[in-house]
Chain A
Amino acid sequence: MAEDQSGRMGVDKTATEGEPARSAEGGDGRPVSLVTWTLATFDTALFVLLGILAAHASGGLADLLGGLNTLVGVAVFCYLWALFVLAVRWVHSRVTLGNAPLQTLVLHGVVAGCATGVAFLLGLFAVALVPTIQSGGVRLQAVLVVLLIGAGVAAVVGGVVGLLASLLDTAAYGLAGYLLPEAGNEQVTEPRRQ
């Protein structure tokens, strides 16, 4: 987060209040910062791994994966990964990890999670159902009703995932700060104590 923090020191005060940080996401010219890339991949990987772990522990993994084409699975994962990157990037453009109050961060995480859940569902619907609708295999009204209900469920699930992810990310950031050894040169803080 050198690009996050050092590039944003001037905007942190506003960013922590929930206003958008105006600086570029990646200070080194990248579209995303290392923190965004790390946390988005961490959240995505953990989300998938815990799902696989739960499915395997309950004995349903073979059935779950049996009907999944490998390339489709890869495409779905990459789509989910991209959505997580966009969601984390959006959160970090508005609040700074480590400086913002937990409540603000969690709120942004929930909103981003809801949007990600709905976008994920819409993406799947677009790929799976649009060709069927075009060929006249399914009635449009029925699809819209299912889509509406599905979007509600996806928003709730996404919100819960966003809530848990933002709590986990904050905990990891706090733990990293705790494990970071004291600076050798403490003179930055010494004069303030006088």
Chain B
Amino acid sequence: MAALPIRTLHVLAMAALVGGTTVLWYSYRSGAITSLVPARQFEWLFWGGVGVLVFTGVGNLGALGPPGPGTNWGRTLLVKLTVVVGLVGGSVVRTLLLVQASDREGTAGDLSPPLRRTLSRAYGATAAVLLSIVVLAEVLAHG
């Protein structure tokens, strides 16, 4: 009975993360955003979303009853889980980089071009990894 709301929450959380990181990537790249404030606000949502994705993901797995790692489906799941671990590890470095940049430069002032480039790359890489997870999820859902 809880499977549908859990799955819906999973998809919504993923959509928020993909959308947010893509907007920040493009905004820092194009110079539309020149401060750290939007990124700092998004990071709260991002980590909340990560938590939601993990527990709803585990809930989905429980509802599906995953086959072993020897099957194609199981191997794809193994790859997806590994990519998710990589995403979480990379994202913590990105957030801590943002925090240290805020400590050094303040949140309101204009960003230096190297920092803007670094943030753009960080959010771009995050968005790319998130999209690869979406593709893997698609493979798991539809074969």
Contacts and interface: CB of A to CB of B under 8 A. Distances in A.
Among B3, B40, B44, B96, the one with the most A-chain Cβ atoms within 10 Å of its Cβ is: B96
B100 A41 contact: no
Interface in B56-95: 56, 58-59, 61-63, 65-70, 74, 77-78, 81-82, 84-85, 88-89, 91-95
A61 B61 contact: yes
Given A38-B95, A173-B96, A49 B55 contact: no
Interface residues of A, number: 48
A50 B112 CA distance: 37
Interface in A168-185: 169, 172-173, 175-177, 179-184
Contacts of A44: 51, 54
Contact of B6 (A61, A74, A78): A74
A56 B51 contact: no
Given A1-B103, A56-B77, A183-B112, A77 B58 contact: yes
Contacts, number: 155
A183 B43 contact: no
Interface of A: 1-2, 4-6, 34-35, 37-39, 41-42, 44-46, 48-50, 52-53, 56-57, 59, 61-62, 65-66, 68, 70-71, 73-74, 77-78, 81, 98, 169, 172-173, 175-177, 179-184
